[in-house]
Amino acid sequence: MSLASRVAVVYGTRPEIIKLAPVITELGDDALVIDSGQHYDHELSGQYREVFGIGEPDIRVDGVGGKSRGEQISRMLGELTAVFEERRPGAVLVQGDTNTVSAAAQAANYLGIPIGHVEAGLRSYDRAMPEEINRLLAGALSDVHFAPTRRSAVNLINEGVDRERVMVTGNTIVEATHRAARRSAAPVASWFPRGILPPAFAIATIHRPENTDSAPALARVLRGLHGLSMPVLFFVHPRTRAAIERFGLERETNGLILHPSPASTDFLHVLSAAAVAVSDSGGVQEEATVLKVPVAVVRNSTERPEAVEAGWATLIRPGVDIAAAVEHFLRSERPDPSLPTPYGDGQASVRIAAVARMLASGRAPAEAITLAARHSSTPGTSVELDATP
C-alpha cells in the first residue's frame, strides 16, 4: 500500500489502545499510528502498547493531557488536521467514544478523508454523558460504521444511517482479552496481603465523572465497596486517586486493598479469578462478559445492554445501595458459561482491517464492505431489521 493510501489509526486512551491493538497488528505496515496524547502518562498508555506489542506510535500529539474537554478537542483538532494534511492517509480509523474520536473524526471529515468508526452504534441515550455526545458526533461523520453487535447496528439504521455502510464485525475486545490473558502474569495471590488468596474476592475500578466529580458520589462508591462480604481489590485510576485526595476521603479507603492500575495481562488474570467486578468502565463490562465474570456497573446508564441481557452484568444507579445490589446480583442465576459471548467470535479486527484497506484504496464505503466480505473467510454480518429489538 502506498504512503498516500495508508490507514491512520488514531488512539489516545487506554481502552482505545487495547481495542485498536488487534487492528493495528492486522494492518501491519499499512497502519499509520497516531497517539492523540489524551492520556499522557506511562501508567495509562505505555504499558498497554508494550503488552500488545504494537510499539511506539508513528506520531504523538503533545500538550493535550490534563486539559479540559474543550481544550483537549480544540488542540487535537488543530494538530490532527495538520498531520492529516501533511501525511494525507487514505482513511482514518477511530474507536469508541472519547474526545480523541470527536477530534479525529472532525479533522478527517473536514479534509474529505473517509472515516471508519470502530465500535459504532453504542447508545446510552443519556446526553449528560460526554461519551454519548462523542458517539453521536462520530456517527454523524463516519463513512463506515463497524458495529460490534447486531443491536448497535440497528441503533444506527434507526437513526438513518445507510445499512450498506454498516457492518456487524463483533468487538475487538474479544481478541484483545484472549490475547492478553494468554500472556504470563503474576499469581493472583500476590495481589493480596501476605500473598494469601481468599476464597472469594471482588475487583473494583472507578473513574467516570459521575462517580468521581463530587464528594458524595465518590463516598457512596467507597462505602459500597466496604459493605461487600468479601475482600476488595481496588485498582485506583489516577483520576480517582486525585479525587480521593481532593475530597479528603482517604479514611473511606481503609480496609480496601489498593493498587495502581495494573498492566492489562495482570488485570485480566486477576479478573478471571474474581467472584465479581464492580466498575463504571465500559471496557471492564465487556472484558468481564468475555471472561464470564459477573460485573456490577455503577452508573446511571449503560451503552452496553448486551452484557446485562446476557446475564453477566447488572446496572446499579445512583441512590441504590451498592453492597446490597451486588449481593443480590450474586445470588441470582448466572447463564450457562458455555454459551458464546454476545461480543462476537474474535475475528473483528480481521474484518475491520480488510474494509479499512479497501476504503483507503479509494473504494466507496458500501463497495469496501462488500468486497472485503467477499474476499474474507470471516465476513461480517448484514442487518435486516428496521425496528429496534
Which amino acid appears at position 139 of this protein?
Answer: G
**Bridge partners (DSSP) listed for residue 306:** none
Cα–Cα dist 52/21, whole Å: 6
Cα–Cα dist 187/243, whole Å: 30
Which amino acid appears at position 300 of this protein?
Answer: N
117: which 3 cell numbers? Answer: 468508526
For residue 117, the Cα-to-chain-centroid distance in whole angstroms is: 13
Phi, psi of 330 (to 5 degrees): -70, -25
Catalytic residue among 39, 145, 207, 269: 207
Residue 117: active-site member: no
Hey, which residues are catalytic here?
A: 207
